[in-house]
Structure 1
Amino acid sequence: MATPPVASVPPANQGLEGGQPAPPAPPGTDMTGICFRDQLWLNTYPLDRNLVFDYFALSPFYDWTCNNEQLRMRSIHPLDLSHLSKMAGIEYMLYEVMEPHLFVIRKQKRDGPEKVTPMLTYYVLDGSIYQAPQLCNVFAARVGRALYYISKAFTTAASKLEKIGYVDAENDSAALESKVAKETIDFKEVKRVDHILASLQRKLPPAPPPPPFPEGYVPPHTADAEKGPEGPQSGEPQAPSVDPIIDQGPAKRMKI
């Protein structure tokens, strides 16, 4: 069976009077950002309920002014409740044990045999010592994390909605531009078609002369010219001849 390590007080500066070593300063309240592990100690001694407090005393979480340290100096087991209940002040208590993986140690203030006030909680998990965060800090961290993810979700949704609206606007503008482009006349294409038609017209032979009038046919303007003296005076303007079939002008509607 391995021999438990001997308790030793860490070195400190010598006092001005009497040459007695000054007690080390107690650890800070919030030390949740650090952890302690001594692999050499773990390789030398077993980690169980009898030696876990000696291992915890090596960490920066340990308060050397506690009642447990006074019991260690008197060669009494530091977790002996029969002696701790008769003392007043800061003490550590082994709260929960799951050997050899988990040990929960609670720091509390004792004001009487049955009156204790919990202060902080530490746990030894597979040889690493941590300070458990307070419940208010846990709630604050969870709420802060939830708010962060909610804000991130809203930001992502807003960016996607803006992107969708921008794409729709682009599609609408593209459709409008294509519609306007279709309705707009391309003058270059018109000139090109005119050039092709002109070139084809030049290549075609000239139109044949009109056929002669049949014998005895008198054109309408010639007949009007021969009847000129009998008609109205020549000084009056004559209405131009109108083809009765081709040019009749717009249809006239009856007025009711």
Structure 2
Amino acid sequence: MATTPMVPPNPASAGNPNFDAPPPMAAPPPPGTDMTGICFRDQLWLNTYPLDRNLVFDYFALSPFYDYTCNNEQLRLRSIHPLDHSQLLKMTGIEYMLSEVTEPHLFVIRKQKRDSPEKVTPMLTYYVLDGSIYQAPQLCNVFAARVGRALYHISKAFTTAASKLEKIGFVDAENENTVPESKATKEAIDFKELKRLDHILASLQRKLPPAPPPPPFPEGYAPPTAEGEKSSENQQADTQPPVDPIIDQGPSKRRKF
């Protein structure tokens, strides 16, 4: 909000010991310091005057960000528009310049130091957003804030992971107490030893000569196969059926009494 000027002491109360004077108000920080946490807004002025490129500097001059030692203030005292660029080029020192304008919502004002008509050193940047005046943070402060926020989230993630790992360790300890035999069997298997044994066997297999081929079968001999054995058994079953001496021999082969 707009700063209230200090009230001068009442002459009638001077010298009166029974009169308690109000405590003095704290002075705002001087312009040029870190004032990123301050927001200025004068709603009465905004309701009275339009906020455009011609009157925005007069509105900015009411804020605690304004430096009364600037060249713009000297132009105001001479009834010249404070943002007259042709007049500012003839002067040296601290000045304010309107860099970007998006009427009536955004106005960017840059504070700079002019050493010559061609040499200008930027110092700070302010912006008027919908009637509220802010000081833009510097780039180093933005990087420091972003890095600090990232480190905070990283440390929080590590803390959460550590707490979960501790819970997993407690569960493993309970399982060790409940099932000791399964842990003993797991510890009995050494995967490194198995890999070493497989490596030794593979190296020995590469050193040994290949196995010789089997000897050939003699002439006229056909090795039996599973299908051939089945077919021969079926043929024998068809050619030699079981014979009944009474029923299947017929009347001509029966004995005559």
User: What residue identity is the alignment partner of 1:103?
Assistant: F
User: What residue identity is the alignment partner of 1:147?
Assistant: L
Matched, 1:75 2:43: no
Q: TM-score, normalised by structure 2?
A: 0.58
Q: 1:109 to 1:12 in 2, by over 3 A?
A: farther
Shift, 1:29, TM fit = 1.4
Shift, 1:162, TM fit = 1.0
C-alpha contact 2:40 2:63 (8 A) present in aligned 1: yes
Matches of 1:30 and 1:51 in 2, distance apart? 26
1:96 counterpart (100, 103, 113): 100
Matches of 1:97 and 1:28 in 2, distance apart? 23
The match for 1:85 is 89
Matches of 1:89 and 1:119 in 2, distance apart? 12
C-alpha contact 2:95 2:113 (8 A) present in aligned 1: yes
Shift, 1:101, TM fit = 0.9
Deviation string, structure 1 residues 17-58 (Cα, Å, up to 9, x no partner): xxxxxxx98424111111111111111111111111011000
Aligned residue pair count:
158
The match for 2:169 is 165
Q: Which runs of 5+ in 2 are unaligned?
A: 9-27, 182-257
Q: 1:64 to 1:26 in 2, by over 3 A?
A: farther
The match for 2:47 is 43
Shift, 1:12, TM fit = 11
User: What residue identity is the alignment partner of 1:168?
Assistant: D
Q: 1:45 to 1:32 in 2, by over 3 A?
A: same
Deviation string, structure 1 residues 128-166 (Cα, Å, up to 9, x no partner): 111011111111111111111111111111111111111
Deviation string, structure 1 residues 167-211 (Cα, Å, up to 9, x no partner): 22123323459xxxxxxxxxxxxxxxxxxxxxxxxxxxxxxxxxx
C-alpha contact 2:31 2:64 (8 A) present in aligned 1: yes
Matched, 1:116 2:120: yes
Larger radius of gyration: 1
Q: 1:90 to 1:12 in 2, by over 3 A?
A: farther
Matches of 1:25 and 1:73 in 2, distance apart? 24
CA RMSD, Structure 1 to Structure 2 (Å): 2.2
The match for 1:61 is 65
C-alpha contact 2:32 2:124 (8 A) present in aligned 1: no
Matches of 1:28 and 1:91 in 2, distance apart? 12
The match for 1:127 is 131
The match for 1:144 is 148
Q: TM-score, normalised by structure 1?
A: 0.58
Matches of 1:30 and 1:48 in 2, distance apart? 27
C-alpha contact 2:109 2:125 (8 A) present in aligned 1: yes
**SS at structure 2 position matched to 1:165:** helix
Matches of 1:34 and 1:46 in 2, distance apart? 23
C-alpha contact 2:112 2:123 (8 A) present in aligned 1: yes
Matches of 1:164 and 1:82 in 2, distance apart? 73
